[in-house]
Structure 1
Amino acid sequence: MDNLTFAGMDGIIILSVFAIVMLAIGYFSGKGDTNLHHSLSGYYLAGRNLGFIALFFTLYATQYSGNTIVGYAPAGYRTGFSWLQSISFMTIIIGIYLLFAPRLYVVSKRRNFVTPTDWLEFRFKSKAVTLLSIFLMLWGLGNYLLEQLVAIGQAVAGMTGGTIPYEIAVVVFVLVMLAYEWMGGMKAVAFTDVMQGIVLMIGIFVFLAGALYLVGGNFAEVTRFIADNEPEKLGVPPMEVSVNWFSMLVLVGLGASIYPHAVQRIYSAESERTLKKSFARMAWMPPITTGLVFVVGIIGIMLFPGLDTAGSEQLVGLMANKIAAINGFYYWMMIIFFGGIVAAIISTADSVLLSFSSMLSNDVYGKFVNPGATEHKKVMVGKIGGIIAIFFLLMIAWNPPGTLYQIFVLKFELLVQVFPAFVLGLYWKRLAAKPVFWGMLIGAIVAGLLTLTGYKTVFGIHGGVIGLTINFVVCIVGSMLVTVSAEKSLKKDELAVLELEA
């Protein structure tokens, strides 16, 4: 993000206010709750008691981090109107959620699941499937957390006009995040998400209003400018771009829907009705959030023509400087908005870290290292393990690999390989453990090799989607050939749970 020349000390003041508010929320979330630090569900799932407002905003903050603003507007600038795909792949995530979330909620409520792999362990009774899924999910979470750490440093350094350097910005706000998460767990995360989500929503509308003001309030003029100067960003995209669009829908739609921290929000709902109501409202958010950011990116083509890739990554900061110069109202709204962006990035990072910690404590330590450990000890292991992991990622964040968007894409290639086991297992009782394991492993190897050898896409199709296709084929064909079906291997009461209509 380009340095915000209007911010400086005012930016530091606003960031300090956000930090204090987040710490206060963490303190009061954990105050007087003796069960919070002694129970896995209490600390990691807010006691399975999130109401509609908290659940909606924590889902919103999970799906739309500050990267939605900082990363997607530059992508729209570089790509042009074909970046409309960003709206559709955010929409398809909600559709995929509704495919499995209500049904999974019923099972998780009866079986007291804490992490996503609790479901896979219950369904397949296979250590191999459980271990591989743990690895793939931790890989996805690690990449996502790295992305947020990079974004925090860029956003804070830019907002303070360089007064707070990138490295110091990351460390300070990571410490703030660790502090309020340690004090309040999922409750603190969900309640800070409410604050951050409201600021982000309002800020997007104000930012767009300011951008439209700068181009005379006439979006048609922006389109004419693009047609005259960069017509390739306005025309029908070539076939490979369209194929890539569809591939991205599959990769993001299936991958993001099984993010561990997203799945744990399903577990955290106080009721199935609350869960469905939250998703119904979430269905309106892609055009309101990603759609408006797309428009901002398109307007940027007219305001700052000719930016290269590195320059376009600074687009949001460049536009904010111009918007802040309009009048006093826009000046303060831009400062508050960018404080909200930093807070939104942190809100995503805290969710990822909490889920990462829960998998370390419950899945790695609780299932394989010390199965007899008390829940209090598991929670403490998760907290300490999360701190160690985040400081390891900080060393990588000092020299971030590639643009934010490139980091964003990388994490899905392996994570999406868990999807067949996770969702197909809810509906097809014959799905068997061995084909699931081999499908997941082969799919991950294919996706990983294609990415590492430079073939991120083949004829526009992502390596993760190619691996996922092979994964599905192995799972389905292999399960059809297995002599003892998954249905016979499950107990009667387990089958009854799977047969419940959500």
Structure 2
Amino acid sequence: MNGVDPVALVVFLFFFLLVTVLGFLAARWRKVGELDNLDQWGLGGRSFGTFVAWFLIGGDIYTAYTFIAVPATLYAGSVTGFFAVPYTIILYPIIFIFLPRLWSVSHRRSYVTPADFVQGRFDSRALALVIAFTGILATLPYIALQLVGIQAVLDVMGLGGGEDAGWFRKDLPLFIAFALLAAYTYSSGLRAPALIAFVKDTLIYLVIIVAVIYLPTQLGGWSGIFDSAEKAFSSFNTDNADAIASGEATPKGLIPGMGVSQWAYASLSLGSALALFMYPHSVTAVLSTKNRNIIRRNAALLPAYSFLLGLLALLGIAAIAAGIQVKNPQLAIPQLFEQEFSPWFAGVAFAAIAIGAFVPAAIMSIAAANLWTRNVYKAFINPDATDAQEAKQSKLASLLVKFGALVFVLALPNEFAINLQLLGGIWILQTLPSIVVGLYTRWLHRYALLAGWAVGMIWGTFAAYNKPVVGKPDSHFGGSVGPLEVFGIEISENLIYFGVTALVLNLLVAVLGTFVCRALHVGAGTDETRPRDYLVDAGDPHVADVLDPIATPKR
């Protein structure tokens, strides 16, 4: 393996083996019974406190691809690159307001997935099915991008062998890593990523803090770093002025200009914040906590990760000042670590990024598996499934989800996986009316919600499909923002995140459809929840510490 630094490799393997051992040991950690039901395997017994939940939810939200992609966006000179920082700030008040209500009703009614709640609230198996389908669909490319992050690290370390290497050398390390991840997730369930999250976050904080202190001493201070970036971007814009004017290239910079760029920045921030806590893995992490106040405490404490993210984004600028030259911006940060750090600390940094993929990938696969089990398998295939059968089905589904994502990444160009993931936020936003609005009112009709979901999904998907890659007019899925237009009618030239426009259309159709359904006296079904269900906490009547996932609570 030419180009592999033995010191960096040994350090990397040490931490990789450490988290593997912890992953298997997690099956015995905080165990109160056998892992033969979804509450124990898929939700960690719903027993995590503030400390564990802080690491788990943070590890769930801040993925390996976050640590690769955010600084890579700044390295590439995207004027909207910093949008990830404000969107995580917007996210936490949303968590504080909405998710405690979802926690309460889920614990009171033994719901495991957001689709369980939709089924109980709106009495619609079809609506629950499309919510589950959307969650799985949006999660798969998200898992795949964790592999993209690991691949970037392996390539820089020399383990991937580069683009010209045979499949055995290039892909075998990735297969081994994910085979071990699949094994200990199958064995330990949600407890595995919860325990590994301690190692992941400790390493990430260590690496980022050292980097933002050490790198400026080597690159002329932060003023020198920003000067280098400004010169690089100005030179690019000058040399490519004609291409920029014709739309064949995008201008580079750090601050969004007035007008179209600011609209893109603002709508991406808002839309991403609304989308992130709708993902099944975010809900799974929240439902694993033992009382609703833990969610609120974490909403107050989690902004520490936003501080970390802001520091992380600066590394993309540092990579420019360090003279990093890579065609694929995703390689910029691993390459920066290899070039500027000593081999042993570079090994720590590589391990931090790789382990940062394992935690979210495990939670995502568990969340997708729970959706399959509760809202497809149990709802339509085996309604009489026992607790053990449900747990077994989720374990098997989690394996299929992981290796499906692995095959997806290996079989398709990384650019395709990245662009397809942009649809994830657009898709998952279309579940917001059923889940978030449903937490407060049942006024929207179940069939109107279905119609709104369909319109939002179709419009958002086609809008993203018709967006070409800059400089490739015949390509597709080239981005997630574009001029504000609806079905070919341009309303504004300002760039808007497609997910926000699709959500507005979704809500309009749902509201209008509700008026129509009520005018025609179409049945709205029966709500199995009660107003007090949305406010209960652990210890209240009929809310057990560890719930029977299929028992029907007394009313």
Same fold (TM over 0.5): yes
Give the C-alpha shift of residue 136 in structure 1.
0.7
Partner of 1:254 in structure 2?
Answer: 274
Q: CA distance change for structure 1 residues 410 and 10 in 2, over 3 Å: closer, same or farther?
A: farther
Percentage of pairs with the same residue: 19
Partner of 1:444 in structure 2?
Answer: 457
Give the C-alpha shift of residue 500 in structure 1.
6.5
Q: Are the equivalent residues in 2 in contact too, given 1:113–1:267 (CA < 8 A)?
A: no
Letter in 2 for 1:255: A
Deviations 1:141-163 (A, max 9, x none): 11111111222223223234546
Q: Are the equivalent residues in 2 in contact too, given 1:76–1:294 (CA < 8 A)?
A: yes
Q: CA distance change for structure 1 residues 139 and 29 in 2, over 3 Å: closer, same or farther?
A: same
Give the C-alpha shift of residue 220 in structure 1.
1.7
Q: Is 2:424 aligned against 1:411?
A: yes
Partner of 2:20 in structure 1?
Answer: 23
Q: CA distance change for structure 1 residues 36 and 452 in 2, over 3 Å: closer, same or farther?
A: farther
Letter in 2 for 1:278: N
Distance in 1 (CA, whole Å) between partners of 2:43 and 2:360 is 16
Q: CA distance change for structure 1 residues 224 and 493 in 2, over 3 Å: closer, same or farther?
A: closer
Give the C-alpha shift of residue 198 in structure 1.
1.2
Distance in 1 (CA, whole Å) between partners of 2:173 and 2:503 is 38
Partner of 1:458 in structure 2?
Answer: 482
TM-score (norm 2): 0.82
1:95 corresponds to which of 89, 93, 96: 93
Give the C-alpha shift of residue 228 in structure 1.
4.0
Q: Are the equivalent residues in 1 in contact too, given 2:159–2:169 (CA < 8 A)?
A: no
Partner of 1:140 in structure 2?
Answer: 138
Q: Are the equivalent residues in 1 in contact too, given 2:429–2:499 (CA < 8 A)?
A: yes
Q: CA distance change for structure 1 residues 438 and 259 in 2, over 3 Å: closer, same or farther?
A: same
Matches within 5 A, 1:196-345: 196-216=200-220, 218-231=221-234, 233-234=253-254, 236-286=256-306, 288-304=307-323, 307=325, 310-324=327-341, 330-345=342-357
SS in 2 for 1:458: strand
Deviations 1:86-122 (A, max 9, x none): 2111222222212211111111111111112111111
Letter in 1 for 2:191: K
Deviations 1:400-433 (A, max 9, x none): 3407753542311211110111101111231221
Deviations 1:178-202 (A, max 9, x none): 1111221111121111211111111
1:393 corresponds to which of 405, 414, 418: 405
What's the RMSD between the two structures over aligned residues?
2.7
Give the C-alpha shift of residue 50 in structure 1.
0.5
Give the C-alpha shift of residue 481 in structure 1.
4.7
Q: CA distance change for structure 1 residues 450 and 359 in 2, over 3 Å: closer, same or farther?
A: same
Distance in 2 (CA, whole Å) between partners of 1:116 and 1:453 is 31
Q: CA distance change for structure 1 residues 4 and 100 in 2, over 3 Å: closer, same or farther?
A: farther
Q: CA distance change for structure 1 residues 236 and 367 in 2, over 3 Å: closer, same or farther?
A: closer
Q: CA distance change for structure 1 residues 14 and 366 in 2, over 3 Å: closer, same or farther?
A: farther
Q: Are the equivalent residues in 1 in contact too, given 2:148–2:414 (CA < 8 A)?
A: no
Letter in 2 for 1:367: A
Distance in 1 (CA, whole Å) between partners of 2:129 and 2:50 is 34
Letter in 1 for 2:531: L
Distance in 2 (CA, whole Å) between partners of 1:450 and 1:242 is 20
Partner of 2:370 in structure 1?
Answer: 358
Q: Are the equivalent residues in 2 in contact too, given 1:75–1:297 (CA < 8 A)?
A: yes
Deviations 1:294-322 (A, max 9, x none): 211122222227x57x2433211231123
Q: Is 2:503 aligned against 1:468?
A: yes
Give the C-alpha shift of residue 219 in structure 1.
1.3
Distance in 2 (CA, whole Å) between partners of 1:41 and 1:116 is 14
Q: CA distance change for structure 1 residues 51 and 496 in 2, over 3 Å: closer, same or farther?
A: closer
Deviations 1:335-371 (A, max 9, x none): 1121111011111111111111111222211111101
> More deviation in 199-208 or 449-458?
449-458
Distance in 2 (CA, whole Å) between partners of 1:226 and 1:187 is 43
Q: CA distance change for structure 1 residues 173 and 241 in 2, over 3 Å: closer, same or farther?
A: same
Distance in 2 (CA, whole Å) between partners of 1:22 and 1:100 is 33
Q: Are the equivalent residues in 2 in contact too, given 1:152–1:169 (CA < 8 A)?
A: no
Partner of 1:349 in structure 2?
Answer: 361
Give the C-alpha shift of residue 45 in structure 1.
0.5
Q: CA distance change for structure 1 residues 300 and 80 in 2, over 3 Å: closer, same or farther?
A: farther
Partner of 1:190 in structure 2?
Answer: 194
Q: Are the equivalent residues in 2 in contact too, given 1:12–1:160 (CA < 8 A)?
A: no
Partner of 1:327 in structure 2?
Answer: none
Give the C-alpha shift of residue 19 in structure 1.
3.1
Q: CA distance change for structure 1 residues 295 and 127 in 2, over 3 Å: closer, same or farther?
A: same
Deviations 1:250-301 (A, max 9, x none): 3311111111011011111011222211221102321x22101121112222
- Over 4 Å off, 4+ runs: 160-164, 484-493, 498-502
Q: Are the equivalent residues in 2 in contact too, given 1:87–1:291 (CA < 8 A)?
A: yes
Q: CA distance change for structure 1 residues 313 and 9 in 2, over 3 Å: closer, same or farther?
A: same
Partner of 2:545 in structure 1?
Answer: none
Partner of 1:123 in structure 2?
Answer: 121
SS in 1 for 2:359: helix
SS in 2 for 1:50: coil
Distance in 1 (CA, whole Å) between partners of 2:150 and 2:230 is 36
Q: CA distance change for structure 1 residues 366 and 314 in 2, over 3 Å: closer, same or farther?
A: same
**More helix, by proportion:** 1
Partner of 2:546 in structure 1?
Answer: none
TM-score (norm 1): 0.90
Distance in 1 (CA, whole Å) between partners of 2:451 and 2:294 is 37
Q: Are the equivalent residues in 2 in contact too, given 1:68–1:293 (CA < 8 A)?
A: no
> More deviation in 351-360 or 457-466?
457-466
Letter in 1 for 2:373: S
Q: Tell me, which stretches of 5 or more residues in structure 2 are unaligned?
A: 162-167, 235-251, 469-479, 484-494, 539-555
Letter in 1 for 2:435: F
SS in 1 for 2:467: coil
Distance in 2 (CA, whole Å) between partners of 1:377 and 1:441 is 32
Give the C-alpha shift of residue 46 in structure 1.
0.6
Q: Are the equivalent residues in 2 in contact too, given 1:208–1:296 (CA < 8 A)?
A: yes
Q: CA distance change for structure 1 residues 335 and 501 in 2, over 3 Å: closer, same or farther?
A: closer
Give the C-alpha shift of residue 59 in structure 1.
0.6
> More deviation in 482-491 or 312-321?
482-491
Letter in 2 for 1:313: Q
Distance in 2 (CA, whole Å) between partners of 1:221 and 1:394 is 41
Q: Are the equivalent residues in 1 in contact too, given 2:12–2:347 (CA < 8 A)?
A: no
Q: CA distance change for structure 1 residues 102 and 69 in 2, over 3 Å: closer, same or farther?
A: same
Q: Is 2:439 aligned against 1:426?
A: yes
Q: CA distance change for structure 1 residues 90 and 404 in 2, over 3 Å: closer, same or farther?
A: farther
SS in 2 for 1:461: strand
> How many pairs align?
490
